[in-house]
Every structure is written in structure tokens, then in C-alpha cells.
Amino acid sequence: MSDPVGALRSLAEHERIAAASAAAREACTQLRWHQALRRRIPEAAAESRVRGAWASAELDGSRSSIALVRDLMRGARPWSPDPDPGEEVLRAAVGATAATERYADLAPFSTRQVLAGVHLAAAGRLLVAEEVGRPRTGDCGEFALLGPAPAPAEAAARLAALDAVVAARDLPAVLVLAIVHAELAHARPFARGNGLVARAMDRVLARVLGLDPTGVAVLEAGHGASGGAAYQGALQAYGLGTVDGLVLWVEHCGEAIVAGAQEGHAIADSVLAGRLSD
């Protein structure tokens, strides 16, 4: 596509995309005005990152509990010195999600710099040093249901194209999040950890683009709200390369943001009550 931003501007007017964007923005606006967030945003945002890391790891097949992740993230429980594969994924999810906090106020915002930093936080213990934070030079076996990963050169080109999409501030935030997420899943620019990075970027971009400036919405949980199969199916629809497929994926992302905002509302309720609940 010679002018991807121009094509996205046209798609932003699509009735279903506009509706998904409006619903997502309204849900985040309602969350922003929660009484607990007048004074206790840091506490609520920290709990959001706990639940976000847990949900992202779950989508990558790691089974744990929110209570365990909370203890690990606050240092109340040590990481295993000899982790099994599920624990490795969980630690990578925690790293990626925790790293999002340092990029929310980055100016100027460099998409590839942030992607490299988030991948470093996620995959520092999963890959050799030469593969961390850098586009892959070989194959990638992640997201197998989406088909074979594109060649490294194509993956790198698709990664580079995201700069213009994020920089085009006249696009709806929901559409930007959806495109960045789907391109990371389909292009798989890194040797490992692409899904974790994609979901972490949702969190970063929601704040940078003003959709969820408090960082309390749990967008990762939103993607898993209807189950992993629905998430994978929506990504597969995007990969068809049709307008209908892209619209279906954007609608999924809009619903994920609404569900994530609802989870954030539950966090804010718990913070207000003085007791966090799983």
C-alpha cells in the first residue's frame, strides 16, 4: 500500500469503525471520571499493570493467578531460579507490561524506539543478546494460526511503516491501536515475544494518544475477555486483507477496550473501598 495513512483515513469514516471508536472512547471517559482516580491514579494504574501482565501471559499460554503476579511484581515473592516455560512467559509479560510506564510520556515519541525497549524488557531472558530489541534475521514460530511468518525483510518493512501510522494524530486512537497490534502479530518482527509486545503497545498507545491517560484500563484482559480463540480469529480476519476483515478486527479491539475499561472500573472500585480483589 503506497499510502497506508491515507487509506486508514478513509477507513476511519466506516460506520462500524466509527461506532467501535466512539464506544471505546466513551468507556475510557467514564473510567477517567471515577471518584477513585481523583487522587489515587498511581495505585489503580499499578494494579492495572498487574492484571494486564497476567492477562497477556494467559493469552500466550502461561497459567497463573492475579495474586501470584501481584506478589511477583511488588517483590513479595521471588522468581524461580529455574523457571519452566510457563514461568518464562509470565516473567516476559511482567517485564513488557512494567516497561510501558516509562514510555507513556516520551517526547518525541519514536515507535521503533519504544518497540525495541518493550521487547528488551520482555525477551531479555528468552533470547540471546543479539536478538533482543532487534528485528529478527530468521524465522518465527509464533502465531502459527496466522500462517507462516513473512521473510525478515518484509517484517522489518512492515515494522517501519508503523511510524507513519502512529504519527498521524488525526486517526482514531482505536484504529491506530488495532493496526499496530495486528501488524506486530502478523509480521512477527521479533524472534519471540511479538504478542507480548503487541499487547503492551496497546497500553502505551492508549495513553500517548489520550484514549486512557490514567493507564488504568486493562486492555490485555479485554483481548482475552471472549477467549483466546476469539482473539486469534479476529487476527485471522485481519490477515485476509479485506475491508471486512480489517473492520472485524477493529471491532474486536474496540470491544477489548470497552472490556478493559470495565476491568479498570472494577480496580478503581476496589481502590476506593480500600481492598483489592481478584
**CATH 3.40.50.720 for domain 4-273:** no
Q: What is the mean pLDDT of residues 226-241?
A: 96
Q: What is the mean pLDDT of residues 100-112?
A: 83
How big is the CA angle at 221 (ends 139 and 105), to the nearest 5 degrees?
A: 80
The pLDDT, as a whole number, for residue 277 is 66
Name the average pLDDT for the chain: 94
Radius of gyration of the chain (CA): 18
Q: What is the mean pLDDT of residues 188-195?
A: 97
Confidence tier at 169 by pLDDT (50, 70, 90): confident
The pLDDT, as a whole number, for residue 6 is 85
**Spans of all domains in the chain:** 4-273
Q: Is the pLDDT of residue 160 over 70?
A: yes
Q: What is the mean pLDDT of residues 99-115?
A: 86
> What global pTM score does this model have?
0.95
**What pLDDT, in 10s, does the model give residues 115-146?**
999 999 999 988 999 999 999 999 999 999 99
**223 close to 55: Cβ distance less than 8 angstroms:** yes
